[in-house]
Structure 1
Amino acid sequence: GSVGVLSAAVDSLNDLAASIIALLSVRASGRPADVEHPYGHGKIENVSAAAQAILIFAAAIYVIYEAIDRIITPQPLVAPVWGMVVIVVTAVVDLIVSRYLLAVARETDSSAIRADAYHLTTDVWTAVGVFAALGLVELTGIRVFDPIVALIVAAAILRVAVMLTLEAAGVLIDARLPEEELREVEEILMKTPKVVGFHKLRTRRSGPTRQIDYHLIVPGTMPVIEAHRLTESIEDAIRRRFPHTTVVTHIEPDRITETSKPDTALRHRSSPRRPRAPRPRSRSYRSGAA
């Protein structure tokens, strides 16, 4: 039989398995935080993406093995016309489903659904390549076109697997948010009135949820209630820009005053204390360090 059709069939089975895994992971990751998982279950989505990558790697290796075997020992194709019909139908279905999944992924910000959609989109181009190979075999009778295209299909499958692996690994090891998102967070912070600056900005992602924490520098004379309202307005602005985001703000005074000294200083009034120099008013670095 055709290795091209075989590769498409194997990839379709992987699509089905990957879609089932994505569905189950999205449902599981949506569970609220509990005592054992205070940060929620969002990373279940990223674990599922890694599992999908393993399935895709396995499919690609199998297709490569079969294609090389057919190049070494050519075999006659069985009913290539029917194979072409199957490939066309599969491509149309994959195209429709992938467009729908991309729309859902944009709405829910789900990495698992988005990865599944990209996988199906790649399958559409894969199916087009296999269709072209089978057509060439029908027209020319040169059967080597079939395993050659199968190798190209396998390369496309591997590309998706690598993409899924890198994306899942980045989230699982708490990589920071993309540079453009960091710039938007910084812009919100620095454009807020009465904010002196910030530092120790840390970001990460857990499934569809972003997690952001930072130290906000405010004037040392600012009352606590005003500082609290200021942080609430900043956190609301960040969540409006990035839905499904958890924001934690730590307030720091720009300079020590009599009302902002540590408790230890208040308990030792007789001990002389040199006033601390004001903090620099420039925006701070982006660092993953605590």
Structure 2
Amino acid sequence: MQITVRAAALSVVSNTTLVVAKLAAGLAMGSVSVMSEAVHSGLDLAAALIALFSVRRSSQPPDEEHRYGHGKIENLSALVEALLIFVAVGWIVAEALRELLGGAEVASLGVGFVVMAASGLVNYAVSEHLFRVGRRADSLALQADALHLRTDVYTSASVALGLVVIHFTGASVLDPIIALGVAALILKAAWDLILKSLGPLLDVRLPVQEEKVLREIVESFRDEYVEFHKLRTRKAGPERHIDLHLVVHPDRSLADAHDLADRIEQAVEERWDRTSLLIHMEPCQARDCAGCGNPCRTPPGDRRAGIPERERRGPDREAAGGPN
């Protein structure tokens, strides 16, 4: 089983346990802040299930219907997770306002504190693991799941702290106020997740730093080509898709040009796993000579559309003993 699938499965198990524990504690206490955390964990569970499905699916190779692979399913799942968070925020805010206006009392504070503290510790450990695996595998779905859990860590800590304050002050009004604070934190996490998942869905270019590294890799072969242009990059889940035009000397054979492309592709794939690089070869033209500096047997004045001289000589020049 892939490490990403195992990590997603771990998240499903931990979130299932926490949902049951928080819901039971919240109902026993009559605490909207604890129940809001149960709802949050419920959405974390839904997110974990989505992440589990998406990492399984995105790892499958391209097929007849999906020639570019299934990487974008991770971006789509992250977007769905963010939308689920917005639903949770709406419920939490509604319940908090109802309790704030109704003045409900909170009981069994000790149970709530134990549940929230345990929840924070469990989620911290699981989120650290998900972040680590997600970054290593470049999986947005796992990183989104980890973000959910990390938000849970902060909110669980705030709820536990609030319950302690309520215990010593008797100010039950703090419970819905804390719930509103929890909602604000969750909303911020959802917005960040939307921004992160939308980019690949809209084919936004790779980060500037990654493109800089890519250019450095291509330029490490600079003595074997004239120049490159029309660089395009995008990302789909953990997969990078890159294409560019590479201008080579007109005297270079097709086999040599293909070998050069293979070596560039290999160098790029050694830097990033799951990368697809498409190189379109072009013969150089007279306008490329000024900045070339590479030896070429085709005279600039006799160069037409990058076609090698030997292909333009024709039978008349051959018979006249033209240059070889």
TM-score by length of 1: 0.86
Cross-structure match for 1:94: 123
2:225 to 192, 195, 208: 195
Q: Which residue of 1 aligns with 2:3?
A: none
Query: Does the CA-based 8 Å contact 2:61-2:69 persist in structure 1?
Result: yes
Is it true that 1:233 corresponds to 2:279 in the alignment? no
Whole-angstrom distance in 2 between the partners of 1:119 and 1:59: 12
Q: 1:177 matched to which residue of 2?
A: 206
Identity among equivalent positions (%) equals: 43
Aligned partner letter, 2:238: P
| Matched residue, 2:240 | 210
AA in 1 matched with 2:208: E
Q: What corresponds to 1:278 in structure 2?
A: none
CA shift digits 1:143-162 (9 cap, x unpaired): 22211111111111111211
Q: Distance in 2 between matches of 1:177 and 1:98?
A: 26
What is aligned with 1:281?
A: none
C-alpha contact (below 8 Å) 2:284/2:305 kept by paired residues: no
SS in 1 for 2:242: strand
Alpha-carbon distance between aligned partners in 2 of 1:120 and 1:110, rounded to the nearest angstrom: 16
One-letter amino acid of the structure 1 residue matched with residue 40 of structure 2: D
**Structure 1 residue aligned with 2:175:** 146
More helix by share: 2
Partner residue in 1 for 2:18: none
Structure 1 Cα separation of the partners of residues 194 and 305 of structure 2: 51
- Equivalent residue for 1:245? 275
Shift of 1:230: 1.4
Scaled by the length of structure 2, the TM-score of the pair is 0.78
Q: CA deviation at 1:260?
A: 4.2
Q: Tell me the equivalent position of 1:116.
A: 145
- Counterpart residue type for residue 72 of structure 1: L
Comparing 98-107 with 80-89, which one deviates more in the overlay?
98-107
Work out the CA distance in 1 between the residues paired with 2:161 and 2:50.
31
Letter in 1 for 2:252: M
Structure-1 separation of matches of 2:210 and 2:305 = 36
Q: Does the CA-based 8 Å contact 2:248-2:257 persist in structure 1?
A: yes
1:1-290 matches, within 5 Å, as 1-192=30-221, 193-255=223-285, 257=303, 260-261=306-307
Q: Residues 114 and 269 from structure 1, CA distance in 2 versus in 1: closer, same or farther, beyond 3 angstroms?
A: farther
Rate the CA distance shift 1:166–1:259 in 2: closer, same or farther, 3 A: closer
Instruction: Describe the superposition over 1:231-256 as per-residue Cα deviations: whole angstroms up to 9, x where unpaired.
Output: 11111111111111011001112226
TM-superposed CA distance for 1:259, in Å, is 9.4
Q: 248-257 or 170-179: which moved more? A: 248-257
Stretches of structure 2 that go unaligned for 5 or more consecutive residues are: 1-29, 287-302, 317-324
> What is the identity, as a one-letter code, of the residue corresponding to 1:67?
A
Cα gap change, 1:269 to 1:44, in 2 (>3 Å): farther
Number of matched residues?
A: 267
User: What is the one-letter code of the residue matched to 2:234?
Assistant: R
1:219 Cα offset (Å): 2.5
Q: Which residue of 2 aligns with 1:287?
A: none
> Does the 8 A contact of 1:189 with 1:195 survive in 2?
no
**Structure 1 unaligned spans of 5+:** 271-290
Aligned residue number for residue 4 of structure 2: none
Cα deviations by residue, 1:180-212 (Å, 9 ceiling, x for unpaired): 101111111122232322111111111111111
1:130 Cα shift?
0.8
Shift of 1:5: 0.6
